[in-house]
Amino acid sequence: MSVTTRGVKNAFRNTIRSISITAILALTIALALVMLLSLKAVQARIDDVKASVGNTITVTPAGARGFAGGGEPLTAAQIKKIEQTAHVKSVTSTLEDRWVTEGTDAPTGPNGETAGSTNLQSAIDAGTLGNRNNANSGGATVSGNLPENFTLPISVTGTTAPGSTAVSGVNSFKLTAGENIDGSSSDYVALVGKALAKKNNLTVGSTFTAYGQTITVKGIYDTGNTFTNAGVIMPLSALQKLSSQDGDITSAIVTVDNVDHLDVTVSALEKKLGNKADVVSDASASADTLSSLDNVKTIATYSLIGALVAGSVIIFLSMLMIVRERRREIGVLKAIGSSNAKISWQFVSEALTLTGMAAVIGVIGGIILSNPVLDALVSGSSDTGGGPQTFIAGPGGPPRGGAGGGPTIQFGGGLSRGFTNFGDVLSNVHATIGFSILLYGLLAAVLIAVIGTAFPSWLIAKIRPAEVMRTE
């Protein structure tokens, strides 16, 4: 009988003990596997958050916000400088415009500028806020009252990324009809908010006019937001040409490759653009989320280490007890010529058999328990983090143009993947089982067996056959 075969058979010499050791080891291996899966899942989510939440920078003309303030618009040359900055992954350029319904009195801006005309009618009632804002912005008559035929202007956005939640300042953007448009096109095509489309009986393929030109509706969108659902989105160059604002850009949303590079990118942009632009980062959006994920990562790391140590201690104490019980057997084997290495391997084989059975059970248990345990860790971390919070930030500051009839909550560009609070980010953490994970589980079992039998094997070398025979 080979040494390995003898070791495997010895694992079943005491059934109760074998079952007990296997069960306890299975629990520790299952816990170790669950923590390993949690660790990998959380790390993947951390990397994703760093690349998608709070990694945006908004660049606007110095002194301007929406249709308030003043200054000079951004230029194509400045956008080129931004694109060539290190760590910048993408740049989305936008131009804001306002159209007023033909036959109504157009409000003027702080600098006396007027809006373009359109045959569309606004889908938003002015109400108290709309009347107050436009009276303050210059749309009032000499007596200070708004004209009787006054209607709110229609907000229009020209952009290189139509359909982007960051551009619209919302956390959801979906087309309910038609198709998206090409942001690099110069064609007079548009996406129309569902409220505006309903107000003006527009469908895909319909046309309307603005600045005396015909524009075709290519799609109708829904953002779940009253203000943006009453707007129009066009390709940037098309709106620039239509409104005679060639090359003008009122804001640029800069996406950085990783939130860790945000500060250095902000500094680089401020240096390149100087006092011609205001540069604002969205760093705070990811800080609390990453803190919660780091808490889960820390718990998973310490639990993984604890499970491995616990498994090693269990097999160590078990093998130590077995070696002490079999002193006479060891002495006889050494007396008839067995080497310390062969005898040690016999006990290692026995330990590997026990941990192997435990590994099979533990891996199955780990697969079953991984996501429930991870959900519990995530829920606990979210609760201790102060509960779900909403990040309120928008690339354009307040509701565009200040012409809305009610309050608008804008979600920043860093939340463009739909992460609007801790719960949304953390609920997307899921453990995935792959071949490499199963291999790690088996390697952990082997590691536990080897570490657990190291000291007992050393004790075997200390046993002298003559002393054993004399005492027996």
Give the pLDDT means over successive 10-residue stretches in the chain (472 positions): 79 84 84 79 75 79 81 92 93 93 61 70 83 58 54 91 88 93 95 96 96 96 94 95 92 88 90 91 66 77 81 78 77 78 81 83 80 67 44 37 36 37 45 62 71 71 64 56
pLDDT at 223: 94
Q: What is the pLDDT of residue 66?
A: 74
pLDDT (0 to 100) of residue 379: 62
Rounded Cα–Cα distance for residues 147 and 6 (Å): 101
Give the pLDDT of residue 47: 75
- Could you tell me the two tokens for 445? 């079992």
- Alpha-carbon span 25 to 127, nearest angstrom: 70
Q: What angle do CA 249, 253, 254 make, to 5 degrees?
A: 120
SS (H, E, C) the chain: CCHHHHHHHHCCCCHHHHHHHHHHHHHHHHHHHHHHHHHHHHHHHHHHHHHHCCCEEEEEECCEECCEECCCCECHHHHHHHHCCCCEEEEEEEEEEEEEECCCCCCECCCCCECEEECCCCCCCCHHHHHHHHHHHCCCCCCCCCCCCCCCCEEEEEECCCCCHHHHCCCCCEEEEECCCCCCCCCCEEEEEHHHHHHCCCCCCCEEEECCEEEEEEEEEECCCCCHHHCEEEEHHHHHHHCCCCCCECEEEEEECCHHHHHHHHHHHHHHHHHHEEEEECCHHHHHHHHHHHHHHHHHHHHHHHHHHHHHHHHHHHHHHHHHHCHHHHHHHHHCCCCHHHHHHHHHHHHHHHHHHHHHHHHHHHHHHHHHHHHHHHHHHHHHCCCCCCCCCCCCCCCHHHCCCCCCCCCCHHHCCCCCCHHHHHHCCCCCCCHHHHHHHHHHHHHHHHHHHHHHHHHHHHCCHHHHHHHC
- Distance of alpha carbon 418 from its chain centroid, rounded? 9
Q: Which of 205, 232, 243, 251 is nearest to 66 (CA)?
A: 251
What does the pLDDT read at residue 436? Answer: 67
Could you give the CA distance from residue 472 to residue 463 in angstroms, rounded to a whole number? Answer: 13
Domain range list for the chain: 3-50+289-471, 55-281
Query: 280 - beta bridge partners?
Result: 58
Joined together, the tokens standing for residue 67 give: 């249709």
Q: Residues, the chain, total?
A: 472
Using the structure block, give the residue that is written with the tokens 């005491």.
14
User: Euclidean distance between the first and final Cα of the chain, in Å?
Assistant: 26
> What pLDDT sits at residue 396?
39
Q: Closest by alpha carbon to 310, among 14, 28, 110, 19?
A: 28
